[in-house]
Amino acid sequence: MIVPGLVFEKRLAVEEKDTALSWGSGTLPVLATPRMILLVEEAASAAVAPYLPEGDTTVGTLVDIRHVSASPVGTEVLCRVTVTEVDRARIRFAVSVTDAFGDVGTGFHERFIVHSDKFMAKAEAKLR
């Protein structure tokens, strides 16, 4: 059961492929903001996946995260997501991304539980 207080952590060793230069979101060899957001989404998705019924998944719907410090290639970042609220299909997470020197990113993320088949049918209807 997905309940407030559920915590999940995911680590990332920052490599060249994770940098702003590589992602095209800047020109410096530090952790790219979009890569940090992907790490948050990976962690939040993995946190709740074991509690979902067969055929259900979650989709990200809101990201409100400040990227407050640079993490160069060779550092490791830790993303910690904590479920703070569950309102029917909406799940809200507090997010903390840190490295050995302190905060890297802080904020909130929301995901919605969806039925995979219904969700994809609605998305694919846009092609018709």
- The dihedral of CA 61, 52, 45, 81: what is its sign? positive
3-state SS string over 21-39?
A: HHHCCCCCCEECHHHHHHH
46: exposed, middle or buried (Cβ count in 10 Å: 0-12, 13-18, 19+)? middle
Q: What is the pLDDT of residue 92?
A: 98
Determine which one of 33, 75, 82, 84 is catalytic: 33
State the pLDDT at residue 107: 98
> Where do the domains of the chain lie, and which CATH numbers do they carry?
7-127 (3.10.129.10)
- The verdict on whether 19 is a catalytic residue reads no
Q: Please report the pLDDT score of residue 94 as a whole number.
A: 98
Q: Does residue 109 carry a catalytic annotation?
A: no
Catalytic residue among 19, 67, 109, 110, which?
Answer: 67
- With contact defined as beta carbons under 8 Å apart, do 82 and 94 qualify? yes
Could you tell me if 7 and 78 are in contact, meaning their C-beta atoms sit under 8 angstroms apart? no
For β-strands 76-87 and 7-13, DSSP reports them as antiparallel
**pLDDT (tens digit, 0 to 9) for every residue of the chain, 128 residues total?**
999 999 999 999 999 999 999 999 999 999 999 999 999 999 999 999 999 999 999 999 999 999 999 999 999 999 999 999 999 999 999 999 999 999 999 999 999 999 999 999 999 999 99
What is the structure's pLDDT at 14? 98
Q: Would you call 33 a catalytic residue per the annotation?
A: yes
Phi, then psi, of 39 in degrees rounded to 5: -60, -40
Cα separation, 104 vs 11, in Å, equals 13
- pLDDT value, residue 95: 98
Tokens of 7: 């915590």
- Which pLDDT score is estimated for 119? 98
Of 41, 58, 109, 110, which is the active-site residue? Answer: 41
pLDDT the model gives residue 31: 98
